[in-house]
Structure 1
């Protein structure tokens, strides 16, 4: 995934689309937008940083999971999943993640009223949202999560996995591919997000990262994220400017 910070307007359409697509509770944002002020008041500027799961090449969350519920699936493009059948809710992965993009929703609700009480869960589900989709795969953390587990972004695997093989980019402007595009990418009004195959030299994401010197967030951790940011000169906090080798 590539996110162009020069195009992003901080509208949070990605956050809303992700929540609806993945049945998350209000306040539990798998795809959030961080707002911060750059510079001292009153001359400082408001900035924002979209932050999905980085789907790291060497994810620290995988190394610390005692039950191997968190795993990286190379057959699924290297996406990191949480197997809800194995997760015991110990939260080790939440502590190990340097990006703060994992969630445990069984505690005090982040937003009132507590929708877990208004829409009680069925068949072990944490809650039963009135808009829940038909896709469910607890082995990959897809669907309405059960109680006592950690959840996270999956790059909308239930969508992208159905795309034709060999496609370089999943572009919402292509009518034949629009249904396979991750929800956050599809709904981005200024088209600040791109999703494709980095290993394909003909892909748009490959060209954008190379031509615009894409950087990765907190690359000094060694996690090697699969999310690249463009326009990092805008001033992203905690950015270590490492160009793609």
Structure 2
């Protein structure tokens, strides 16, 4: 059984947000509710201020605090280590949103992040919160895994494109856009990354590219002090990817 993980090279990432757009299209996201967010922040002061950025997906933690606080066990971890939300069990209590130290969960039944509210243009049917024209095929939807059109009154999050990666050939070390055999199973954010700053593979496979990069370039994880043990690693030239206290340009 693989243990899927992601590596993001901050020295290569250009902050283009193609990952954000691809994820939104693949996973039926509302404008502004970005599972694959890119946070922009400033370093220094004027006139020597420098703009930097940090891509921030769900960390898919090995020890996820969101799982332990869920009163209905709607948030759970699969055998291959991916943290998902069962929309059939979620009651929208938001405990998981409070417990997550990375701020990567969303509750849709609130004021829209971006106006005008696009849900009015594409109203939902039945339990669906909305019905965008680019929605994924019905056969991909699986509410028990938080995949598809988000129902009303539930929490959502990045799934590592689980509807794709869970179908990958057995025993593969990496899921790569450049490999015809694994292209269709590669997460959307990894597939569209123009500067090739994202890598996805099996952290338990010593031959995987993700393991090679983590070892050779000193991969680091966010908020190690929480004990969550993220499965998303950053390459930043050996330094910490975000220095506490930097002023964010995001409201």
TM-score by length of 2: 0.92
Q: What is the CA–CA distance in structure 1 between the aligned matches of 2:186 and 2:51, rounded to whole Å? A: 30
Q: Give 2:182's match in structure 1, choosing from 177, 180, 189.
A: 177
Partner SS state of residue 221, structure 2? strand
Q: Tell me the residue number matched to 2:242.
A: 236
Q: Tell me the residue number matched to 2:93.
A: 90
For residues 79-158 of structure 1, what are the structure 2 equivalents within 5 Å? 79-134=82-137, 135-158=140-163
Contiguous gaps of at least 5 residues in structure 1: 240-245
Q: Tell me the residue number matched to 2:41.
A: 36
TM-superposed deviation, 1:162: 1.2
Q: What is the CA–CA distance in structure 2 between the aligned matches of 1:202 and 1:63, rounded to whole Å? A: 32
Q: What is the CA–CA distance in structure 1 between the aligned matches of 2:244 and 2:208, rounded to whole Å? A: 28
Partner SS state of residue 2, structure 1? strand
Contiguous gaps of at least 5 residues in structure 2: 1-5, 246-251
Q: Give 2:58's match in structure 1, choosing from 53, 57, 60.
A: 53
Distance 1:48 1:234, change over 3 A: farther
Q: What is the CA–CA distance in structure 2 between the aligned matches of 1:10 and 1:208, rounded to whole Å? A: 20
TM-superposed deviation, 1:236: 1.7
Partner SS state of residue 84, structure 2? strand
How many matched pairs?
237
Q: Give 1:2's match in structure 2, choosing from 1, 7, 14.
A: 7
TM-score by length of 1: 0.94
1:215 aligned onto 2:196? no
Task: Indicate the RMSD between aligned Cα atoms, in angstroms.
Answer: 1.2
Q: Which has the higher contact order (CA 8 A, sep 6+)?
A: 2
